[in-house]
Every structure is written in C-alpha cells, then in structure tokens.
Structure 1
Amino acid sequence: MWDPVKYLDYADLRGRPFYDLIARIGATDPRRVVDLGCGPGNLTVSLASRWPGAKLEALDSSPEMVEAARAAGVDAQVGDVREWSPSPDTDVVVTNAVLQWVPEHRSLLRRWVEELPAGAWFAMQVPGNMDSPSHSLVREVAGRAEWASRVGGLRGVEAVDSPLEYAELFADAGCFVDAWETTYVQRLSGPDAVLEWITGTALRPVRAALDDGEWARFRAELAPLLNEAYPPRPDGTTWFPFRRVFAVARV
C-alpha cells in the first residue's frame, strides 16, 4: 500500500525532477498524453495544463494513489505498467519515479518504443541513488537477523541503469535520445529528516511487511545510522543529495 499523504510530504522537492523531465519534451500538439505511475495526481495535472487539447491517460498500481489522483481531478485508473500498451494516438508518455520498482523495465522500454507511433515522445526519470546511504543502510538493517526473513533482499544498485545505458537502449531501438543525470542537494527540515523522506518511498515495502510494533523497532534501528550519514546542521536542517537519472526519447 502507498500512503498518498506521506508521499506528498516534501511535495515541492519531490516534484523538481518531474518538471525538469517534461521541460525536455518537444511535443507541441499531442493527441494523447500518458502518465504511467501517476501517484496522487499532483504532477499529472500539469500535463493537462501544458497540453490542454490532449486526451490525458493516467494509471497507477495503487488504489490509494488512484483515489487521491481522482480527488485532484485526474481521471486515473488502477493498472500495472507491465500490462500497459500505448493506444495508436499516444504521442507523449511520461513515467516519473516508477520503473525502479519494475525489474523487467528494460524489456518494457523496448516494447513500448516499438508500439508507439513515429514521432512520439517517451520521457522517464528514476532515482539514481540506490548505492547512497539512504538506501544501503536500509538494506543493512533489513539484512539483520531479526528482519532478514521478513524484509531482506531489497533491491540495490541493479534496480536502474546509468544515463549512458539508457541512451544506448533507446538509440539501439532507433530513437533520438537525450539522457542525463542530476543530483539535487535537498535541504530537509525536522528530526530524522532523511528517515521521514524515505518513509514515503523506499521504505514502503518494509512498512508493508511489518506490524506497527516491528515497524517502530525497525525505524529506531535505522534512524541513528541515517543521522550519522546525513548529520543535521545546527539550524536543524539536513542536506540530502538526491541523484536522479533521466532519458527523453523521440521515436
């Protein structure tokens, strides 16, 4: 389960990569714009604003997120991106911070590009910080004896590729491609700031596997490790480097 309220903590900071991604899409009058993994819809609405003449299609695997998106005015549907195929009029596809959850996403990218009409745009963004302390420390704690049978085996750096590897994938599929990475140095506030940040995303599988008491103990083990890796400043804020990987392909 996803918690839309928790996910929307730091909504402005979480949204920065999305806006940087769609800024590189050159479509002017697309017929259909698709948001794969629309989440609570707070970013999807900007697609409707940019291309008001397009049919907007949005889906997410989480019923809770889809409910929140509909409340935000997005006609979202519950769906699995692995089962999605583009309609013949699909001219823009956006997938923002989704594909890291899908181990087979590389083969999906190849299939989607083959199925999209000529001239369509495909834009993707995934986290590139799987080897950072915010993720490696989660895997370290999850691998301890108390937790390994419940939450061990979390995915690591193999979850996503480098910008170069995505560029090669799209180029081999016959696309024009623009691929890059950006590290945003986020200034977070409040106690256990990085823990709170990843609670809405990376820690979701852990939370789903544990009851309330176990979850509290897991957080208590993880919090001091994260605070050591990301020490709070005297003013109570915390710097959090946030690397993201982008690719925009023209079919």
Structure 2
Amino acid sequence: MTTPAWDPAQYLRHSGHRLRPFTDLLARVPALPAERPRIADLGCGPGNATALLAERWPAGRITGYDNSPEMLERARAGQEGDRLDFAFADARTWTPEEPHDLILTNATLQWVPGHLDRFADWTAALKPGGAIALQVPDNTDAPLHALMRELAATPRWASRLADILRAPDSVHTPGAYLDRLARLGCATDVWQTTYQHVLTGEDPVLDWVKGTGLRPALTALADDPDARDAFVTEYRDLLRKAYPATPYGTVLPFRRLFAVAVKGA
C-alpha cells in the first residue's frame, strides 16, 4: 500500500458525517485520572476533531500527531496555543515520551499494517486509569472498496495500481482488538456501528472516497492526469450502480469499529 498524499479540503467536504464517529467514540471515554490530562490524538488529520478534545478537557495538554504535512498545515492554522499543538509523527513508530492519560486514534489505524502490535507500547505509556480509544472504518468488504480493488486489478490498471490500496484485512475482527487490549491489562469495550449516511450532490460517494480510500490510487497516478481521470471515471460508473441515487440523496452504509480500553491500576 502506497503512502497517499492528502487533501485537507477534500477530506473536510464531508466533515459532518466524518465527525459523527469521533463524537460517538468520545462519548464512551471515561473520566481521566488527571485533572490536567496529557492527551494524544494520533492521526489528527486537519485538526477539526482534535479541537473537540480541547473542549472536552479544557485543562488538558493535547497534541495532535500526523504524518501528512498538508494535514498538519491545516490543523495548525489558528488553533495552536499553550494547551493544543500539532506535531509530525508516524503511527507505525510513534511511542509516547511521557505518561499519557488518553491516547486516541480516529480513522487512522486502517492505514497502519501491524497496528495491533503498537498497543503494547501505548498501553505501557498510560497512567493507571488512562485509556486508549480508537475508531477504524470496518468496511473493506463493502462495494466502496471491493469495486476499487477489482478495478485496480484489471489488465488496464494492474501494472500501476496492484497492491497499493487498502487490503481486505487492514482492519481486524472485533474479537482481535478485544483480545489484544484485554491481555495488556485493560478493561476493554469493543463495538461496531453501521451509519446510513445520506449524501447529496453529484456523485457524492465518489466525492467522499476521494478524500480517503481513493487517495493511494490518486497519488500513484498523479504524474499522469489522463490515466488518473480515466480510472476515476471507470470507478465512478461502478459506484453509480452500487449506490443509486434516490429522491432524497444517495445512501452510503458505512460500518465502523470502536474500542475503549482502560488501563488497570
């Protein structure tokens, strides 16, 4: 899987729908052990969700981490201060340098191969009573992704797009997250939610995925605009059949997986 180039403006076009899972995750995070908690938002993207952490814990010290310069530039615009800052980090290697009360990662770990193995380092850095909270899209079997992979594997595209997209096993079963975090001494709650997003506008499902899952293909074809546009057009036509428009919009069913793990004393 290639490292995609990110477009904050495209990502934020559906910010209302994308924020819903974050707020649902945040609602299940318990009281933290410190009055002035140390919090990390790993994979903060454009920082609009990170700002909600500052609202929830106004006395906290919060850092949003991302490996996209474009996302960090957008996140830093007008937001940084004494309590909230942003820094470069890669979730594949990031390890906290000080004790934390909360390590949160939202819609990021699906891009991190082997991410279950990161939990041991993160749990070790939690204070007793601290928490790991995560959310990942859990829909690689949905037409949104399956059609993209099938198209990329056709003779026209395989030489350029083979093995660059998210694999079907980029997210694990709910039981795998529960087992890994519980074995690390955490009281763990894992659940799934399927959202029925009603999207509007022309080809809204394509517009949605241009901000996320399609980014590796767009990045790989960036040096050949004609090929990029041809691939997007073929994929658009497949999406139109898989997600037909209705009089009230286009429905995008979207399943997500959540976990909140609280470290024991």
Instruction: Name the TM tier (shorter chain).
Output: over 0.9
Aligned-partner SS, 1:240: strand
Partner of 1:86: 96
The residue identity in structure 1 corresponding to 2:236 is: A
State the 4+ residue runs in structure 1 displaced beyond 2 angstroms.
Answer: 27-31, 114-117, 154-157
What is the Cα deviation at residue 30 of structure 1? 4.6
Bigger drift between 162-171 and 198-207 goes to: 162-171
| Per-residue deviation, residues 40-88 of structure 1 (Å, max 9, x unmatched) | 0011001011111111111100000000000140421121122211233
Partner of 1:16: 20
Unaligned runs of 5+ in 2: none
On the 8 A contact 1:91/1:119 being kept in 2, the answer is yes
Partner of 1:165: 176
More helix by share: 1
Partner of 2:198: 187
On the 8 A contact 1:41/1:72 being kept in 2, the answer is no
Kindly report which structure 2 residues correspond to 1:47-126, keeping only aligned pairs within 5 A, or say none: 47-74=53-80, 75-126=85-136
Write the distance in 1 (CA, Å) between the matches of 2:190 and 2:176.
9
Residue of structure 2 aligned with 1:206, choices 185, 204, 217: 217
Residue of structure 2 aligned with 1:216, choices 220, 229, 238: 229
Write the distance in 2 (CA, Å) between the matches of 1:179 and 1:78.
29
1:138 has 2:116 as partner: no
Please provide the CA RMSD for this pair: 1.2
Q: TM-score, normalised by structure 2?
A: 0.91
Q: TM-score, normalised by structure 1?
A: 0.96
Partner of 2:167: 156
The residue identity in structure 2 corresponding to 1:141 is: L
Matched residue count:
250
The residue identity in structure 2 corresponding to 1:220 is: T
| Per-residue deviation, residues 121-158 of structure 1 (Å, max 9, x unmatched) | 10000000100000000001111112112111223320
Bigger drift between 14-23 and 112-121 goes to: 112-121
On the 8 A contact 2:99/2:125 being kept in 1, the answer is no
On the 8 A contact 2:100/2:125 being kept in 1, the answer is no
Unaligned runs of 5+ in 1: none
Q: Percent identity over the alignment?
A: 46
Write the distance in 2 (CA, Å) between the matches of 1:203 and 1:26.
34
Aligned-partner SS, 2:148: helix
Residue of structure 2 aligned with 1:246, choices 255, 258, 262: 258
